[in-house]
Amino acid sequence: MLQFIVDALIRTSDIMLVAVGLSVVYSLVKFPNIAHVQYAMLGAFGTLGLTRVGMPLPLALFGSCVGMGMLAVLLNVLVFKRLLRSGSSIAMIGSLAISMIIIAVVLGVAGSRPFRYSSGLPRPISLGSTTISIDQLVSIGCGFGCVALLAVLLFKTGVGRSMRAMSSNPALAAATGVDGTRVVNGITFLSGALAALGGTMLGLTETVHVGLGTNLLLPVFAAAILGGLGNPLGAAAGALLISIAETLVTNLDFGWLFGTSDVYVPITYIGAASFLILLIALLFKPYGIFDREVRRV
């Protein structure tokens, strides 16, 4: 049971920050940015590149987050804002094009082989039959800690109130003195930084490669939709539910169905479990589990 909990928390930390960033920016710009998952891949490569030139990992991570935040704002101002004038569907298609361009550029520069960070962290911690590495502990703590800080930002600060006002009624928010452009740019920067942080944490626990963002696409969108697009805390809860479903399916022994033992679902079917949960949930809650928060936030 402890190993199951650890595995579920590790998987949650893999996708939660990226899903939260996607959801928080959707609440303002109102289109699903497919390129958002590639920000995570670029962030992981950015951190890797900065460590290769001699920067300590924490400083490299900070630089990568700032860089990806700035890139997210730049793309939003120069590309997505203009595409949104033609509708959200056009903006979504444009984000797919940006995603393909990012993949092509990284593939040409870094190639397709995976890379690893040289963190020099100590050996894994063993708790009975359960093993967890320091990298994984850092990833879990970073993921849940950032979501807690985001909750404080959204509900305890003026920035959060402005964001919720913009999401609910942009015209009324502007009439009360809210600077919509500043709020959107700030939240977009935050979403890019969260994606870079999430990508780096995933690179710590696995590897950094050009397919990192593409591998995140389905579970991240499933988590964001399940929690209610536009509800960042709902996206965090959706990431936890998706992770539990994926971990449960791949850890259950279905040997009793065949009169034997050690019959497990192949890891290649892990995505099917998350989307089965998503489909069942949306049949009863079309706007996601936390649809009321979506309308309020």
Q: Could you write out the three-class secondary structure of the chain? A: CHHHHHHHHHHHHHHHHHHHHHHHHHHHHCCCCCCHHHHHHHHHHHHHHHHHCCCCHHHHHHHHHHHHHHHHHHHHHHHHHHHHHHCHHHHHHHHHHHHHHHHHHHHHHHCCCCECCCCCCCCCEEECCEEECHHHHHHHHHHHHHHHHHHHHHHHCHHHHHHHHHHHCHHHHHHCCCCHHHHHHHHHHHHHHHHHHHHHHHHHHCCECCCHHHHHHHHHHHHHHHHCCCCHHHHHHHHHHHHHHHHHHHHCCHHHHCCCCCCCCCHHHHHHHHHHHHHHHHHHCCCCCCHHHHHHC
Indicate if the pLDDT at residue 293 is higher than 50: no
pLDDT digits (tens, 9 = 90+) for 142-176: 889 999 998 898 888 888 888 888 877 777 777 88
The mean pLDDT of the chain is: 84
pLDDT digits (tens, 9 = 90+) for 4-31: 788 888 888 889 999 999 998 888 888 8
Least-confidence region, from 120-134, 143-157, 197-211: 120-134
Q: What is the mean pLDDT of residues 72-83?
A: 93
Name the residue ranges covered by the structural domains of the chain: 2-211
pTM (2 decimals)? Answer: 0.86
pLDDT digits (tens, 9 = 90+) for 270-279: 667 667 777 8
